[in-house]
Amino acid sequence: MHRRIASGLIALTLAAGLSACTGGVTSYADLEGDQADKDRLPSSTTGAGSDDPLAIDAESTRLVAVQGDTEIFLASATEQGQSRICIIVFAETQPFRACGSGDRVSMSDSVNEYTVLSDAVVDTALDPAEDWTKISENVFTRPVQPTTSDTQ
């Protein structure tokens, strides 16, 4: 499914929630191990050869979860020489990604919030009382929290 909607990915990029950069190498258990065919993104989503300043390392991509028709990937990337971690979500109608550095990258669509936590903070950074569900070693999700205007 994700190959059909790859062309829309770059146009629908969302801002990432970033934390401060750490001095050491940030690791993610989800990116370890061998890459299987299901882990690969279409080449049009990696940023290579386009106007996208972000270059996703095609060998680093991993499919970390599937929720209904939504596929969630993690990948390493570089942007202007700086290392990034990216969460790439292929939803049926709205593909998107968020990338950042440090121990935490967060994003949301109209249905779910997603947070990627590095191995250094994965067990301590989220309050279990806030309805977060662990969907992989480094990725958590929860339904979008209604705002005051959503409930009136």
The helix (run of H) or strand (run of E) holding residue 8 is helix 6-9
Distance (Å, rounded) from C-alpha 44 to C-alpha 138?
Answer: 25
Averaged over successive runs of 10 residues, the pLDDT of the chain (152 residues) comes to 35 32 70 95 59 86 93 93 93 81 90 94 89 95 77 50
> Is the separation of the CB atoms in 94 and 109 below 8 Å?
yes
Q: What pLDDT does 122 receive?
A: 92
Q: What pLDDT does 43 receive?
A: 59
Q: What pLDDT does 63 receive?
A: 96
Distance (Å, rounded) from C-alpha 119 to C-alpha 7?
Answer: 31
| Cα Rg of the chain (Å, integer) | 15
Domain boundaries, the chain: 6-150
Q: What pLDDT does 14 receive?
A: 31
